[in-house]
Amino acid sequence: MPYPALVPAQLVFSPEGIPYSSIYGDVYHSDDGGEEQVRSVFMAGNGLPERWRERSSFTIVETGFGQGLSFLVTWQAWQNDPQRSDRLHFVSVEKHPFTAADMAKLHVRYPELATLSQELLTRWPLLTPGFHRLHLDGGRVTLTLLFGEAADMLQQLTARIDAIYLDGFSPDKNTDIWSGPVIRALWRNSGPGTTLASYTVARAVRDELTMAGFSARKEAGFGRKRQRLAGQIERAPRRAPVYDGPRQAVIVGAGMAGCAAAERLAARGWQVTVLDKESAPAQAASGNHVGLMHAHFSRDDNLQARLTRAGSEYTLRHLAGFSATTQVSSFWGLSGVFQVAKSAEQAAAQAAIVQLQQWPADLLDWRNATQAQTQFGVMAPWGGWWFARGAWAKPASLCRASLVRFPQLIRLVTNAHVAELKRTEHGWQLLDASGNELASAPIVILAQATAALELPQAQELPLSSSLRSTTLVAAGALPEMSAGLSGSGYVTPQLDGWHCIGAAAAKPGEVMTAESANLQALGQLFAQTAVVNLPTGGTRLCARPNSLDRMPLVGELPQAHAEQGTVHQLFHIKRQAGLYGLLGLGSRGLTYASLCAEVLAAELNAEPAPLERALLDAIDPARFLLRAMRKGSPWPLESTADDSDDDDQDA
């Protein structure tokens, strides 16, 4: 089921000048002072700042983000504490988020928080339902915003909570946020030592907490409120054990997937070795000159659509974070992408999605044929989708920038073909064809596309590849382009004197046939272009790695089917301890790589997941095995996938 569209909060103030919700008829904080309420009620009630001291990571979950004051005050206190944890995770749910412009007006009232507010607002996401991951304070603080109904969002959360800010409008104004499903979802993500605090002492709230497995007590209140609530978990849920071994990993593959995984782990202090069989990184699909990236949309807002939206938005924020360094700022751009409808039927479907789903215009909009010709100089007889937040990037440069971002923590070893994986007492040993050790570590991540199938530990994964092609066309040979274009083919804005067009299907050795097909597709975008005489800079063929359902495979790999026994859910599947995959990115390498790497890094560090549980399940490498076992189907499955209708041309 798709999430309902968000209704943003309206900027209204009470007669006393306190931010006020016209939807719930209540103020956002006490009239005794919002900042002090955070410190006296939520922080003190959870034993902060003392409890986060000397910790590697600390996770707080809040049930109402509002104007973000609790987050900003907590961040400031954490930043000012010399004994603070290495990392702070703050997860907050909000059904009616403010726009960035309204947040800025609210934050003017707190000049002492201005620097933190500016950093937050610079990264403030589009107001779309789902999870939004923001890295702040040089990556030391991570804010995960859950936009939507509290019960729906928190039931999709995967986290290990240390402290809970039980907040929201008064229980008699907004009963949903204090309901049993919300409290139970918080309990399921709690563990031994989890604490909670709230401004309310309502009997109904205390009863829900007790029934869920928490205890709660009344304590002296703040300001004119006589009492507040503090508590802790009494009956902790059973949770899978977390990885607590050495923070060392070997990654096989130095394409976008492997380099992203290395960067995300190194950002958390891991020592990472990246092995690649080629002489340099990004030699396969990640070696294309330029790729385009944009979100995908569907009538039913399916899992793939939701994952591409999350991936493209996370990648944009990730690239913006890179832009402070010289390695990245020159090879990506937010120029937008126009996708030409291929038929009247597709155009009607596209226009209907824009009209009915009401996405922010920056995320998805519609252009008719005349508008397309005027704005993009492209032939689009039926119109098409306009992605203002579509981007272009040079994948190989992103790979190199990822590898050098933490030079003391990432080691690249080239000409290193992993022919064998051996389980050892301390993890995994990686050997070459002669039996020589290339590396060893407790954690191994396979990110070498379909080459992973050469290893027995991964050979049952339903991965396949299709051969695709890209052709370089000299800048100046095409009409001036203000955006990336896609349709039957695609064309990127020029970089270093070349446009990149593609990605026609190809057969081994048939380079000129593929180039001709790419030029034909280009001619459909620019009818006035004489494609036969365009100056080209060569065509390269590369394998595009696919999965059966065109979703990536991200997570700990399952054991062989014969060793499983009877299972009913993904968490029952036996895994190969310490062996992970980041595979099957298909044509969406730019869209998926950084977000999927963040998923793996969060799992290995017992941090809140950046995605909804439904999306985590949809990319779990064990999903195909579970489906086969439920249906009694033969295993392994036939590894074929058709990506002929895949319009997103990342790499």
CA 228 to each of CA 39, 197, 217, 233, 234: distance values in angstroms, whole numbers, following the listed order: 13, 8, 8, 17, 19
Mean pLDDT of 268-278: 98
Q: What is the mean pLDDT of residues 1-7?
A: 81
Claim to verify: residue 218 and residue 275 sit in the same structural domain:
no
Cis-peptide into 508, omega within 30 deg: no
**CA 24 → CA 12, 77, 174, 175, 176, distances in Å?**
12, 30, 7, 10, 11
What dihedral angle (degrees, nearest 10) is formed by the CA atoms of 373, 378, 381, 384? -90
Tokens standing for residue 345: 């039927």
Q: Residues 81, 51: contact at Cβ < 8 Å?
A: no
The pLDDT mean for the chain works out to 92
**In-domain check, residue 503:** no
pLDDT of residue 581: 98
pLDDT over threshold 90, residue 237: yes
495 part of a folded domain: no
% of the chain surpassing 70 pLDDT: 95
Is residue 475 in a domain? no
Give the lowest-confidence range in 59-68, 223-232, 549-558.
223-232
**Is residue 404 located within the same domain as residue 297?**
yes
The whole domain housing 612 covers 243-331+394-470+542-651
Cβ–Cβ under 8 Å, residues 150 and 63: yes
Provide the pLDDT for residue 295. 95
- Which domain CATH number covers 563? 3.50.50.60
131 and 185 co-located in one domain: yes
The C-alpha angle 181, 92, 14, rounded to 5 degrees, equals 100
Question: Quick check: is 521 in a domain?
Answer: no
Mean pLDDT of 342-361: 94
User: Which pLDDT score is estimated for 510?
Assistant: 92
Whether residues 452 and 573 share a domain: the answer is yes
What is the predicted pLDDT for the residue at 221? 81
pLDDT at 640: 58
CATH classification of the domain holding 82: 3.40.50.150
Residues, the chain: 651
**pLDDT, position 422:** 97
For residues 596-618, average pLDDT? 98
How are strands ordered across the β-sheet holding 291-293? 291-293, 391-393, 332-333
Residue 474 CB coordination number (10 Å): 14
Answer yes or no: do 60 and 183 share one domain. yes
Per-residue model confidence (pLDDT) at position 643: 55
For residue 400, tell me if it sits in a domain: yes
Q: Are 72 and 120 in contact (CB under 8 A)?
A: yes
- Tens-place pLDDT, residues 95-143: 999 999 999 999 999 999 999 999 999 999 999 999 999 999 999 999 9
Residues 319 and 437 in one domain: yes
For residues 421 and 364, state if they share a domain: no
Beta carbons within 10 angstroms of residue 108's beta carbon: 9
Nearest to 6 by CA among 107, 153, 134: 153
Q: What share of the chain is helix, strand, coil (3-state, %, to 5)?
A: 30, 25, 40
pLDDT category at 93 given cuts 50, 70, 90 is: very high
Q: Could you read off the pLDDT of 300-314 as tens digits, one per residue? A: 999 999 999 999 999
- Mean pLDDT of all residues in 533-549: 91
Q: Say if 636 falls within a structural domain.
A: yes
Q: How many Å from the N-terminal Cα to the C-terminal Cα in the chain?
A: 30
For residue 2, is it within any domain?
A: no
Same domain, 601 and 572: yes
538: three-class secondary structure by DSSP: strand
Residue 651 confidence (pLDDT): 41
> Per residue in 469-504, pLDDT tens?
999 999 988 888 889 999 989 999 999 999 999 999
| 31, pLDDT greater than 60 | yes
pLDDT tens-place string over residues 500-536: 999 999 999 999 999 999 999 998 888 766 666 789 9
User: Which is higher by pLDDT, 223 or 595?
Assistant: 595
Percent of the chain with pLDDT over 90: 79
**pTM for the whole structure:** 0.95
User: DSSP 3-state assignment of 640?
Assistant: coil
Q: What is the pLDDT of residue 530?
A: 61
HEC assignment per residue over 275-322: ECCCCCCCCCHHHCCCEEECCCCCCCCCHHHHHHHHHHHHHHHHHHHH
pLDDT at 542 over 80: yes
Residue 648 has pLDDT above 50, yes or no: no
Helix (H) or strand (E) holding 153: helix 150-155
Lowest mean pLDDT among 58-72, 532-546, 592-606: 532-546
Query: Both 342 and 302 in a single domain?
Result: no
Q: Which residue has the higher pLDDT, 477 or 452?
A: 452
C-alpha Rg value of the chain to the nearest Å: 26
Residues 321 and 348 in one domain: no
What does the longest C-alpha to C-alpha distance in the chain come to? Answer: 82
Domain count along the chain = 3
Lowest mean pLDDT among 14-18, 555-559, 606-610: 14-18
Do 287 and 178 share a structural domain? Answer: no
Other C-beta atoms lying within 10 Å of the C-beta of residue 641: 20
What pLDDT, on the 0 to 100 scale, is given for residue 27? 79
CA 621 → CA 264, 312, 462, 580, distances in Å? 20, 21, 9, 9
Domain boundary among 178, 201, 233: 233
DSSP 30: -
Looking at the fold, whether 89 and 141 belong to one and the same domain comes out as yes
Residues 6+ positions from 574 with CB-CB distance below 8 Å: 558, 559, 563, 564, 565
- Does the structure show a pLDDT above 70 at 561? no
> What is the Cα–Cα distance from 20 to 18, expressed in whole angstroms?
6
Residue 546's DSSP bridge partners are 464
How many whole angstroms separate alpha carbon 185 and alpha carbon 202?
Answer: 20
Residue 207 lies in a domain: yes
In 3D space, the residue among 159, 148, 185 whose CA is nearest the CA of residue 65 turns out to be 148
Secondary structure of residue 28 in the 3-state scheme: coil
